[in-house]
Amino acid sequence: MGYNVAIDGPAGAGKSTIAKLVAKEKGFIYVDTGAMYRGLAVYFLKKGLKKADVPGIIEACRDAEVTISYDNGIQQVYLNGENVTRLLRTEEVGNMASHISAIPEVRQKLLELQRSLASEQNVIMDGRDIGTNILPGANVKIYLTASVETRANRRYRELKEKGEPCDLEKITKDIRERDERDMNRETAPLKQADDAILIDSSDMTIQEVVSKICSYCNI
Ligand code: DC
């Protein structure tokens, strides 16, 4: 059994930035589970499936194989053998991922992959249901959050830096809608595990959050 750190929290809370830095400092493997949902979302979008077509998505799920590997320590997501990592980080894919992740069959598909990665090695895994559902026995559980305004501003700056068109009002609306969906779905909704440590990063620097999490990792 590996040493497992679970980080859950809403979109834009900084989970992946923080988890990557903790992984570096502690020598953990960083597992980004949102990227796996995004990989499946790419598949359904390519097939022209609409987010409301739940039977179609469940059917298509059977032919989608998501695997991951690491290139210089950076997680790569493969969809039926094709590396789709560069396609994952768009708002369209993120929104589709949020919709399809509410479908139990989709979640089931990724559950074994996530659990087996954590059983084999020391990992820091981020997502929405890691502490509550995927790794209930994790050594450290963190619930990382920040205000909607902070998260929207961070997303806006990120997109702007990449030179992508963005509108703060639309990003704020999307974040609110995604929170609503992720927190209120029936299967494995986003919530703080009873034994998770709450960190609100709204007024903290990245390094402050990283140091705080590292201080809980007794390894
Ligand atoms: O963390 P992210 O933005 O890459 O995740 C995209 C969507 O995937 C998110 O809105 C909800 C879903 N997701 C999930 O339901 N469970 C996870 N463990 C990770 C992500």
Q: What are the tens digits of pLDDT across the range 53-103?
A: 999 999 999 999 999 999 988 999 999 999 999 999 988 999 999 999 999
Minimal CA–CA distance to 99: which of 8, 187, 162?
187
Q: Which atom of ligand 1 lies at the shortest distance from residue 134's CA? A: 18
Q: Which atom of ligand 1 lies at the shortest distance from residue 130's CA? A: 18
In angstroms, the Cα distances linking 132 to 66, 192, 208 are 22, 7, 25
Contact 124, 28 (CB under 8 A): yes
Smallest CA separation from ligand 1 atom 16, residue: 128
State pLDDT tens for residues 104-141: 999 999 999 999 999 989 999 999 999 999 999 999 99
The pLDDT of residue 120 is 86
Which residues have any ligand 1 atom within 6 Å of their CB?
11, 33-34, 37-38, 94, 97-98, 101, 127-130, 178, 182
- CA 1 to ligand 1 center in whole angstroms: 25
For residue 88, the Cα-to-chain-centroid distance in whole angstroms is 11
Task: Name the E strands within the chain.
Answer: 4-8, 29-32, 66-71, 74-79, 82-83, 123-127, 140-145, 197-200
Pocket test for ligand 1, best of 85, 101, 132 (most atoms within 8 A of CB): 101
- CA 215 to ligand 1 center in whole angstroms: 26
Nearby residues of 11 by Cβ (< 8 Å), 6 or more positions away: 94, 98, 151, 155, 175, 178, 179, 182
The pLDDT of residue 164 is 85
Cα–Cα distance, 119 to 121 (Å, whole number): 6
Report the chain's mean pLDDT, rounded to a whole number: 96
The pLDDT of residue 91 is 85
Nearby residues of 146 by Cβ (< 8 Å), 6 or more positions away: 12, 13, 14, 154, 200, 201, 202
Contact 35, 77 (CB under 8 A): yes
